[in-house]
Amino acid sequence: MTTPQSNPEEETCPAQALLKSLSGKNKAAIFRLAVSAPLRFSSLLRQIPGSNKQSLTVALREMEAEALLQRVVVQEKPLHVEYVLTPKGQLLIPVFEQLEKLSQE
């Protein structure tokens, strides 16, 4: 079994580590949708073109592990799960807004 190699560039450049955590299939779309309201898995699946259950699950778990999203079990009948931005995720809203502006220029 191999162990992951550490990347010296990521260790010395926090911005590089942040960009890596935001890259990946569906993550930008999930983030953009999470800014507006709590998200349910089925809603994300419908709203993100080309997404599938497996890739969406991977992206959500990674974003949870990176403390960008929080998974909340809603104690209503029927029980369901919602994903909301964490305080750390909320700090990235202005960054994404600037990226959107740059992409439109």
Residues 6+ apart with CB under 8 A from 79: 73
Q: Which CATH number fits domain 18-104: 3.30.930.10, 1.10.10.10, 1.10.3290.10, 3.80.10.10?
A: 1.10.10.10
What digits encode the pLDDT tens for the residues 59-97? Answer: 999 999 999 999 999 998 888 999 999 999 999 999 888
Confidence of residue 6 (pLDDT cuts 50, 70, 90): low
Cis peptide before 49 (omega within 30 of 0): no
Terminal-residue alpha carbon distance, the chain: 47
Angle in degrees, 0-180, between the axes of helices 14-22 and 27-36, rounded to the nearest 10: 90
Domain boundaries, the chain: 18-104
